[in-house]
Amino acid sequence: MVLTVAYALSPIDLIPDFIPVLGYLDDLIIVPAGIALTIRLLPENVLEKYRERARIELSGTKIHSRAGLLLIIVIWLFVLLLAVMILFRFF
């Protein structure tokens, strides 16, 4: 798990991020594969212990700020609208 986190946070990649598509594709493959391998290698009792702990700690959580959620949705809709308008101008 430590290696997966270190790779995800490291500025050094197998394929540099400035290379179009491939730069981020390696991150999209290696990081989830590392997480899946970590989960597979964890003993079942340890995994279940921390899943139960997470369930307990997250059971009472809810969205604290509906205004914040609304703001994020409005921003994404604005970005989407802007992207559509730009695409229609070029095509």
DSSP structure string for 34-88: HHHHHHHHS-HHHHHHHHHHHHHHHTT---S-HHHHHHHHHHHHHHHHHHHHHHH
More confidently predicted of 20 and 73: 73
Tens of pLDDT, residue by residue over 30-79, are: 889 999 999 999 999 999 999 999 999 888 777 678 888 899 999 999 99
The whole model's pTM is what? 0.55
23 against 34, higher pLDDT = 34
Task: Supply the pLDDT for residue 75.
Answer: 97
